[in-house]
């Protein structure tokens, strides 16, 4: 029993403790919850009060902004109304002024109408008077015509024709004399100045007068090298000719090989290739092709370096396009009538500089034109057309100035000259090309040019004989004095000059001399 009682007591105590703990927890939770509720209510009231205050502030700010916007709109409206009133006032003033002008114009038109009415009346009187005078003049003219036909025995048309023919002959004769005198004075003055400038230009420049040939000679260390160059069954020499595009002439001349080609660039490649092969000692087809290709690449580099050196030596200012520099270097291996084109370009550049300095023109621009004037010859064998037009296209592609482009294209009159530089380059080009020994020509072409020059003169009526002299630089024309008078002699010279310019291509100038000589022969017996 005591054990059971203790157990019951123990469990009773446990139950009481549990109930107490539960009760205590309940009241604690309730107390804490009520406290949190009060705190939450307090916080909520504060939030509501703050929100109400903020709402009031926002409302007041909105009212203020609305009032400010309304005030600004009212000011803008008033300003606009003010401007409109000013515009209306100005328009009213303009309308008033226009009304005043219209009134004055109306008064003026009224006065003019009155004047026109008066003039019409006076014109009617004047027309009547003129008609009367015209009738009188007609009668006088008819009377004079009758007298003229009675005295001369010619009709009116015959007399008119005779009078016009006489007047035409007199006017033509006097006009020819006047033209002759004016052009003679201008020619003498122009020749004097041109001779001074050209003489000074030529005196300041001297150049070699030897022309390049079409062959190049390579020296050998011995005649046994000829067999190695030819190779077995001619394989080596055939490979050389195919790779370089030139002819190798191996004849009985001791210790030499002749390279023949009209293209100096190919001749130079062939010469360098052969010299390198001889120095190396290995001469066979594959080695030949390898050396030729290597020399071609080296030549491209050398051409560019030559072009840069020429531009520097000539003192050309301003940037020149790299493509033009490369083409300038290629001119070293181009010839024209036996004259090296690069040498011709350098001469022309010097001439242009001297003449531009004498005339007070742009020295550097003139030399730039001289350097580029024959640039088309570097590619003329690749592009169709005159080298002057090709050069102008190249200059335009490389962004040269319009003056340079026109001068390059006009230096052979393929384009219309548009500046004095274009005229100067014609003169400088002719000086360089026509100086003694500068260019070669075949005998056949020389004879044909002289014959054509004489044929142009012989075609003209009144010419008895024409002689081309001074290596084709002058033509002397002898006319029949009974068919060509003094005035027409001058006209004949001008016509021959124009025909020669149109029908014949020539470097430099051709002097036309017309000779009219009257001879009277009597025999005493």
The yes-or-no verdict on residue 306 having pLDDT over 60 is: yes
Nearest to 373 by CA among 407, 344, 330: 407
For the chain, what is the domain count? 3
367, 490: one domain: no
412, 456: one domain: no
* Structural domain includes residue 19: no
Q: Decide: 467 and 454 in contact? Cβ < 8 Å.
A: yes
The yes-or-no verdict on residue 254 having pLDDT over 60 is: yes
Q: How confident is the model at residue 448 (pLDDT cuts 50, 70, 90)?
A: confident
- pLDDT value at position 385? 80
Q: Decide: 348 and 432 in contact? Cβ < 8 Å.
A: yes
301, 259: one domain: yes
**Per-residue pLDDT reduced to its tens digit, 212-229:** 456 778 888 777 788 888
Summarize the confidence of residues 281-289 as an average pLDDT: 86
The yes-or-no verdict on residue 211 having pLDDT over 50 is: no
Q: Decide: 388 and 408 in contact? Cβ < 8 Å.
A: yes
Select from 434, 468, 483 the last residue of a domain: 434
* Structural domain includes residue 452: yes
337, 457: one domain: no
The yes-or-no verdict on residue 313 having pLDDT over 80 is: yes
Helix, strand, coil % in the chain, rounded to nearest 5: 75, 5, 20
224, 318: one domain: yes
298, 430: one domain: yes
326, 419: one domain: yes
- pLDDT value at position 50? 84
**What range defines the domain where residue 374 resides?**
215-434
Identify the weakest region by mean pLDDT among 49-63, 139-153, 297-311, 443-457.
Answer: 139-153
Identify the weakest region by mean pLDDT among 51-55, 137-141, 440-444.
Answer: 440-444
Summarize the confidence of residues 324-348 as an average pLDDT: 82
Q: Decide: 461 and 482 in contact? Cβ < 8 Å.
A: no
The yes-or-no verdict on residue 347 having pLDDT over 70 is: yes
User: How much of the chain exceeds pLDDT 70, in percent?
Assistant: 83
Q: How confident is the model at residue 145 (pLDDT cuts 50, 70, 90)?
A: low
Q: Determine the Cα–Cα distance for residues 127 and 316; give it in Å rounded to an integer.
A: 77
186, 296: one domain: no
Give the other-Cβ count within 10 Å of 311's Cβ. Answer: 19
**Residue that the structure tokens 């130079």 belong to:** 268
Summarize the confidence of residues 118-125 as an average pLDDT: 73
Summarize the confidence of residues 493-518 as an average pLDDT: 80
Summarize the confidence of residues 199-207 as an average pLDDT: 52
* Structural domain includes residue 228: yes
> How long, in residues, is the chain?
525
CATH of the domain at 242: 3.30.1370.10
Nearest to 221 by CA among 255, 259, 270, 257: 255
Summarize the confidence of residues 423-428 as an average pLDDT: 86
250, 377: one domain: yes
* Structural domain includes residue 146: no
417, 276: one domain: yes
* Structural domain includes residue 83: no
Select from 434, 468, 493 the last residue of a domain: 434
Q: Determine the Cα–Cα distance for residues 407 and 388; give it in Å rounded to an integer.
A: 9
Q: How confident is the model at residue 498 (pLDDT cuts 50, 70, 90)?
A: confident
- pLDDT value at position 19? 85
* Structural domain includes residue 359: yes
- pLDDT value at position 507? 60
Select from 410, 434, 458 the last residue of a domain: 434
The yes-or-no verdict on residue 207 having pLDDT over 50 is: no
484, 338: one domain: no
Q: Determine the Cα–Cα distance for residues 341 and 141; give it in Å rounded to an integer.
A: 75
Strands (E), 31-101: none
The yes-or-no verdict on residue 42 having pLDDT over 60 is: yes
The yes-or-no verdict on residue 210 having pLDDT over 50 is: no
Summarize the confidence of residues 68-77 as an average pLDDT: 87
The yes-or-no verdict on residue 280 having pLDDT over 70 is: yes
Summarize the confidence of residues 319-339 as an average pLDDT: 81
* Structural domain includes residue 3: no
* Average pLDDT of every residue of the chain: 79
User: How much of the chain exceeds pLDDT 90, in percent?
Assistant: 0
- pLDDT value at position 1? 46
373, 354: one domain: yes
Summarize the confidence of residues 508-519 as an average pLDDT: 80
Kindly give, in sequence order, each residue whose CB lies less than 8 Å from that of residue 119, ignoring residues fewer than 6 positions away: none
**Per-residue pLDDT reduced to its tens digit, 181-194:** 777 777 777 666 76
Q: Judging by DSSP bridges, how do beta strands 339-340 and 463-469 pair with one another?
A: unpaired
* Structural domain includes residue 10: no
Q: Decide: 411 and 429 in contact? Cβ < 8 Å.
A: yes
């Amino acid at each position: 029993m005591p054990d059971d009682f203790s157990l019951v007591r123990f469990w009773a105590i446990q139950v009481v403790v549990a109930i107490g703990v539960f009760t205590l927890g309940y009241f604690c939770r309730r107390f804490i919850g009520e406290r949190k509720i009060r705190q939450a209510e307090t916080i909520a009231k504060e939030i509501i009060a703050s929100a109400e205050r903020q709402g009031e502030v926002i409302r007041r700010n909105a009212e203020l902004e609305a009032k400010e916007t309304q005030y600004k709109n009212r000011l803008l409206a008033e300003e606009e109304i003010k401007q409109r009133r000013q515009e209306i006032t100005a328009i009213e003033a303009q309308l008033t002024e226009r009304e005043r002008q219209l009134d004055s114009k109306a008064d003026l038109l009224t006065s003019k109408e009155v004047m026109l009415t008066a003039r019409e009346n006076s014109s009617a009187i004047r027309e009547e008077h003129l008609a009367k005078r015209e009738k009188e003049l007609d009668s006088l003219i008819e009377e004079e015509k009758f007298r003229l036909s009675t005295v001369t025995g010619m009709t009116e048309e015959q007399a008119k024709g005779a009078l016009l023919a006489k007047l035409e002959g007199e006017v033509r004769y006097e006009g020819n004399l006047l033209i002759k005198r004016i052009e003679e004075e201008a020619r003498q003055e122009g020749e004097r100045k041109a001779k001074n400038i050209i003489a000074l230009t030529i005196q300041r420049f001297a150049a070699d007068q030897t022309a390049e040939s079409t062959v190049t000679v390579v020296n050998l260390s011995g005649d046994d090298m000829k067999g190695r160059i030819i190779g077995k069954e001619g394989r080596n020499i055939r490979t050389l000719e195919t790779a370089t595009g030139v002819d190798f002439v191996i004849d009985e001349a001791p210790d030499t090989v002749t390279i023949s080609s009209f293209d100096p660039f190919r001749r130079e490649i062939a010469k360098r290739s052969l010299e390198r092969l001889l120095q190396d000692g290995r001469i066979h087809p594959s080695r030949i092709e390898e050396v030729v290709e290597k020399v071609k690449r080296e030549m491209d580099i050398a051409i560019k370096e030559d072009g840069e050196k020429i531009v520097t030596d000539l003192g050309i200012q301003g940037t020149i396009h790299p493509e033009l520099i490369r083409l300038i270097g290629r001119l070293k291996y181009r010839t024209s009538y036996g004259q090296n084109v690069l040498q011709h370009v350098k001469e022309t550049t010097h001439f242009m500089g001297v003449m531009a300095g004498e005339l007070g023109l742009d020295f550097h621009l003139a030399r730039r034109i001289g350097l580029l004037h024959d640039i088309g010859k570097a590619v003329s064998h690749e592009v169709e057309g005159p080298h002057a037009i090709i050069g102008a296209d190249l200059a335009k592609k490389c962004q040269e100035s319009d003056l340079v482009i026109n001068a390059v294209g006009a230096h052979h009159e393929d384009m219309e000259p548009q500046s004095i530089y274009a005229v100067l380059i014609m003169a400088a080009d002719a000086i360089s090309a026509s100086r003694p020994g500068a260019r070669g020509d075949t005998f056949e072409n020389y004879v044909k040019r002289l014959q054509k020059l004489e044929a142009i003169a012989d075609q003209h009526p009144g010419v008895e004989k024409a002689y081309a002299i001074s290596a084709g630089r002058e033509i002397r024309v002898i006319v029949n004095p009974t068919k060509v008078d003094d005035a027409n002699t001058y006209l004949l010279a001008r016509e021959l000059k124009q025909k020669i310019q149109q029908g014949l291509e020539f470097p430099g100038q051709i002097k036309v001399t017309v000779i009219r000589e009257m001879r009277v022969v009597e025999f005493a017996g």
